Every structure is written in structure tokens, then in C-alpha cells.
């Protein structure tokens, strides 16, 4: 089975800088196998381009190819901070104390808060029995 984690990463910046950065990420990949990760979204918001990845149930081991690619993208993106690229990432594991988040670059009015919550809906206590009335 293995230890599983949930989390994500968002890299964003001016559209022209992000297009160049994403092309560079693709061209600098050392593993020739394509990273076909269905959880990746690329979209525009205003004058920014956003690259977003969210994942659930990943086995988080440093020697796994998906984790290595995740770390490579984060590291190379951090190196682009002086060119206007920003990002944040989060991960939480099965253990309640295993939570981490990191950020670099500018804040643009949104952020990620990693929070663990339990929601449940229990039935209320039973109604007391009614007393028979005379009459």
C-alpha cells in the first residue's frame, strides 16, 4: 500500500514569461518519458497564466518519478522568481501532523490554507416519551 499524500502546486506569472517558462520546463526534462499527469490545468486569468496541479493519494517517496518531476518543476520555477514567476505548493499526508506548504514570489490576492477538518451530522437525542393524558 504505502503512505499517501494529497496536495498541489500552482505556478503563475505574466503570460509571456509563463509560456517561456513552461517551454523551458518541457525542454529541460531529463527523463524522455512524457509526464502525463491528468491533474494539470493551464489557464489565463487577467494578464497572468496559471499552471495548476492538484493530486490525491500519491505515494510520496523521493525516488518515485512523479515526485521527482514535481520537485524539479518546483525548483526550476523558484529559480524564475526574479523574472516575475511566483508559486505556492502544499501537501498533507495520512498522519495529521504531516502538513507542509511553501511559497515564493508575489502574492496576488489568493493563497492556500491547508486545514484538516472533520464534518459530521449526528442525529439529535431522542425525544422524551410523551405522557399519556386523561381526557
| Closest C-alpha among 47, 20, 28, 58 to residue 108 | 47
pLDDT for 79 equals: 95
Beta strand pairing call for 99-104 and 86-93: antiparallel
Model pTM? Answer: 0.75
Domain boundaries 4-104, corresponding CATH code: 3.30.70
Q: Which DSSP symbol is given to 61? A: -
Residues 23-53: pLDDT tens digits?
Answer: 888 887 766 565 556 678 899 988 999 999 9
Domain boundaries, the chain: 4-104
Amino acid at each position: 500500500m504505502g503512505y499517501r499524500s494529497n496536495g498541489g502546486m500552482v505556478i503563475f506569472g505574466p503570460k509571456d514569461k509563463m509560456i517561456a517558462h513552461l517551454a523551458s520546463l518541457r525542454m529541460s526534462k531529463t527523463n524522455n518519458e512524457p509526464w502525463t499527469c491528468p491533474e494539470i490545468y493551464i489557464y489565463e486569468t487577467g494578464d497572468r497564466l496559471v499552471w495548476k496541479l492538484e493530486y490525491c493519494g500519491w505515494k510520496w517517496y523521493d525516488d518515485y518519478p512523479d515526485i521527482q518531476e514535481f520537485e524539479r518543476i518546483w525548483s526550476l520555477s523558484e529559480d524564475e522568481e526574479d523574472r516575475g514567476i511566483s508559486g505556492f505548493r502544499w501537501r498533507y499526508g495520512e498522519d495529521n501532523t504531516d502538513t507542509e506548504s511553501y511559497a515564493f514570489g508575489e502574492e496576488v490576492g489568493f493563497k492556500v490554507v491547508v486545514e484538516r477538518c472533520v464534518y459530521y451530522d449526528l442525529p439529535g437525542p431522542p425525544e422524551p416519551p410523551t405522557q399519556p393524558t386523561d381526557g
